[in-house]
Structure 1
Amino acid sequence: MTDRPLFADAHWRAACNGGACVEVAFHGGWVGLRDGKQGDLGPVLTFTADEWDAFVRGIKDGRFETP
């Protein structure tokens, strides 16, 4: 099992769409994603750089569009 970082001192960037925001941070080769409304109080989903790249490619390819 890999130790995942806590992102305590990471720089978070907001991405918003119609008032709904998520925050993303890149820290030590990891990517953290959290709910913009909860900020430091909410959980952080963590991804490796490869996992994040695959997710972003899926978005760009339209894999998450509703039919």
Structure 2
Amino acid sequence: MTQFANWRKSSRSTQMQGQCVEIGFAPGRIGIRDTKLGESSPILDVDGAAFAAFVRRVQDDAFDI
């Protein structure tokens, strides 16, 4: 199991909305979890390249959300 460190909460997440996401870091990997559950949250474990591609698509407004 990958051990992630230096968890950072999304600047777009707010306590008021209850939609909080954090990312953690490990060599070559990014962990994504729901902050409401804290350390007991399931972690989506993706490789760094896939996460970077996802971020680029979000920045390019490629998703209809």
Give the letter for the 1:11 counterpart: N
Runs of 4+ in 1 over 2 A off after TM superposition: none
Deviates more, 1:39-48 or 1:17-26: 17-26
Matches within 5 A, 1:22-37: 22-37=21-36
Aligned residues: percent identity? Answer: 36
Give the letter for the 2:21 counterpart: V
Match of 1:13 among 8, 13, 27: 8
Unpaired segments ≥5 residues, structure 2: none
Give the letter for the 1:5 counterpart: T
Give the letter for the 2:38 counterpart: G
Unpaired segments ≥5 residues, structure 1: none
Match of 1:49 in 2: 48
More helix by share: 2
Aligned residues: 61
- Compute the TM-score of the two structures, normalised by the length of structure 1: 0.78
Give the letter for the 1:12 counterpart: W
- How far is 1:43 from its partner? 0.5
Give the letter for the 2:47 counterpart: T
Aligned CA RMSD, in angstroms, stands at 1.6
